[in-house]
Each structure stands twice: as C-alpha cells, then as structure tokens.
Amino acid sequence: MKLLLIFSLIFLLDLYFYLGVYSLFNNTITSNLFKFFYWFSSLIVYLMIIYVILNYEKKTPSIHFNNSILYSSLVFIFLISKFIGIVPLLVDDILRFVKYFARFFQDSENYYDTSRLEFLKKSSLIASGIIFSTFLMGMKWGRYNFKKNFQNIKIDKWPTSLNGFKIVHISDLHLGSFQKVEKLELVVEMINEENPDIVVFTGDLVNNYYYEALPYVNTLKKIKARIGKFSILGNHDYCDYTNLKRSSMEWKKNFNNLLKLQKDAGFDLLLNESRLIDIKNYKFNIIGVENWGAGNFNKDGDLDLSMNDVNDKIPTILLSHDPSHWSEKVLNSDYNIDLQLSGHTHGMQFGIEIPGFKWSPVKYRYSQWAGLYNKHGKQIYVNRGVGHLGYAGRVGIMPDISVLKLYSKI
C-alpha cells in the first residue's frame, strides 16, 4: 500500500510537469519526440525504484549494492529536477486560481496572461534541465574528484621544535558506496605523497555492514605514516540504520568484524581511549571517542572515560566523528583540548567553495561543517569527507584529503 502511494505521488508529479511544458512543443514531430523520451525516461526511473527496493538489504558487497546506490542517485536527480521544475508552474496555477475567483468581485476582461504562462513554462523547463545536468555532472566528475585542502593550525602549547608537524586527516570513506578499488588507491597515493607524520581517520568506514570494506582493506594497508595511523568510529559504523538490534548476535558479529577490519588495515582504533605520543621527549595526546552526536544520533562517546589519566597540560588532540560533540560537550568542558578533528557533515556534498567564501545548506544544521573554526581558545577542523552517501556525487564541495600542519603560537 505504501509503495503504491509513493508511485502514485511520483506519477502525479510527472504528469503535472509534463502537462505544464508539453504545449511548448508546437511542432508535431518535436512534440511526439518529447512525449516518447519523457515517458520512456520516466519508465526507466520507475524500474530503478523497483530495483533499489528489491535489492536494498542485499548482504553482499556485490554489484547489486553498488547499482542500488547508482540508481537511487539517478532517481534523486530525476525527482529533484522535476520538483524544482514544477515550482514556476505551481506559482502560476495558484495565481490564476486566485484571479479566477477575484473576477467575480471586480471587473476583469482578461484574467489569463498567456505571455506570462509561456515565460513560466520555459523557466520551468530550463530550471529543471539545469538542476538535472548539474547533479548528473556531480555524479560523473564530482564524486571522485579528490582535493587536498591545506591548513596551518597554531596551538598554544605546541613545541616549536615540532613546528610543521604534518597530519593527514580523512573521514567518511563510506566504502559501501565506492564502485572501484582503483579510486581508493588514488586516495592512498595522494596521502602518501605528503609523507605525513600521522594519519587520522575520523569515522564512517562503511555505510552499515563490515563486508562493504572487505575489497578495500589491502588498499588501506598501503597508507603510510611516520609515527602511526589512528582511527575512530562514526555513526554509520554501528549498523544502526538497519533492522539489526544491538542485542542480537548478528549485530555483535558485524560490529566486531568491523573493529577487526580497521585494525587489519593498520589503524590504531581508539574507543573512548587515548594515546601518548612521544617524539624526542616532546609529548602530546591523541584522544579518540566513539560516536557522539546531538539530537537523535547515538551517544556512545564518553569524553570523561577518554580523558581518564590524561595529562591535558600538554597538547591534546581529540578525534570525534560528529562536530556537534565539540559545540555541545567539548567547549563546555574543563578539559584543555586544543584541537578536535571531525567529519560527518560531508559538506552535504553540495554547495559553493571558492577562495574566501564557502556555503552549503548543511551550515543551517551544523555551525562547524567544513574547515577550521575557533571559539573560546579551542579549535575544531571538520573534514568534508572522502566518500559519499545517498547521492553518489558531489557538487561544489569536493571529496577532501585534509593536510594539516601544526605550529606553535609563540
């Protein structure tokens, strides 16, 4: 019943848009071609929806899972472009509806402005085409267009002898959405080019299941860092977006296998714990909490437990997947945490980022969503994510390999 309702709503959206723009094609040949391609493409989209539904819970890292992601993205593009396209048409219909009834109360020889309707129809078609082509290009050229973002960060307690200490920060791999191992190999090459002192990964290795990462473990092993590779978990690593219950054996098996895969990939996985890094008698802390997110996100992260027996008089770096943990907990704590490294937002995979200006709709949900932020003497850097989720593409906000250099403020 629910499925029938969804298809009915999609069909009505389709029909409304079609009836709104069909009259633009006056020539018989062009109107017939438009009719054929419009409804043929709609049929393909309906078949994609059925495919995605039937393969949604396929428990294998096979082509079926990747195709589901690809097809769901195409469905998203189809629907969002049609939705944007009907807005001008809907506005005009509402105005004509109001004017139709208004003529009963005042003299009006012509309440129907055909020139404006023609303009709105063309605007509707153009707007729909721009949205469709933009998101389609984001799938083709955006999702694997990996970019290095360089950032110098000054820390009060950082020893001058370690100035230029290099951290490569990656996040949100979402390996279940990758379609080719070769793409991840490119990421590894770009990381190793930097000869980092340490590499940190701030969660969301998979979308849900551990087996999504199986084809990529050997590639992740190739990441090199002079001192070490450290990681934490993100909200998607807990398999909470499935029908599995945390109390079930299947959930526990999936979770434990995921932890093992992170370690097999060469990462020191921090689960509400800390590591003391000692470089020629200069020391600093790396703290790693499990996921903690504001609102309905899981709150497995325990800052107090993570900071147990930690000397925060020396430089302290916190790895925490969700940036809301910084604004909700870290800023208000008595712990001297100099820098938090996070991910989670993906920069919404959509926005504008040019020198001196960045914007994304995700900023209205997360105050800290991409790059470096300072408040009350504490700092957070948010990685834009390497992978993608939901929409298999990126528009404006590219997949991010963050290269951070630490310096003393002195």
- The confidence score (pLDDT) of residue 119 equals 77
| pLDDT tens-digit map of 261-310 | 999 999 999 999 999 999 988 999 999 999 999 999 999 999 999 999 89
* End position of a domain, from candidates 86, 117, 142: 142
Q: What is the mean pLDDT of the chain?
A: 89
Task: Please determine, for residue 101, whether its predicted confidence score (pLDDT) is greater than 80.
Answer: no
* End position of a domain, from candidates 142, 175, 200: 142
* End position of a domain, from candidates 114, 142, 170: 142
- The confidence score (pLDDT) of residue 199 equals 98
Pair of tokens at residue 110: 């012509």
> How big is the CA angle at 269 (ends 405 and 186), to the nearest 5 degrees?
60
Task: Please determine, for residue 105, whether its predicted confidence score (pLDDT) is greater than 70.
Answer: no
- The confidence score (pLDDT) of residue 22 equals 76
- The confidence score (pLDDT) of residue 110 equals 56
Which range of residues forms the domain containing residue 279? Answer: 147-408
Locus of tokens 């600093």: 284
Asked whether the beta carbons of 338 and 154 are under 8 A apart, the reply is no
Report the alpha-carbon distance of residue 188 to residue 405 in Å, rounded.
19
Which long-range contacts does 44-47 make (Cβ < 8 Å, 24+ apart)?
A: 45/74, 45/75, 45/78, 46/7, 46/10
The domain that holds 372 is classified in CATH as 3.60.21.10
162 and 92 belong to one structural domain: no
**Percent above pLDDT 90 for the chain:** 63
Please, which pLDDT band fits residue 167 given cuts at 50, 70 and 90?
very high
- The confidence score (pLDDT) of residue 161 equals 93
Task: Please determine, for residue 41, whether its predicted confidence score (pLDDT) is greater than 60.
Answer: yes
134 and 188 belong to one structural domain: no
Residues whose CB falls within 8 Å of the CB of residue 71, separated by 6 or more in sequence, listed in order? 48, 49, 51, 52
What distance lies between CA 47 and its chain's CA centroid? 26
What distance lies between CA 227 and its chain's CA centroid? 29
H helix runs in 2-113, sequence order: 2-21, 28-55, 63-102
pTM for the model stands at 0.88
391 and 263 belong to one structural domain: yes
Task: Please determine, for residue 182, whether its predicted confidence score (pLDDT) is greater than 90.
Answer: yes
Report the alpha-carbon distance of residue 26 to residue 17 in Å, rounded.
17
- The confidence score (pLDDT) of residue 65 equals 57
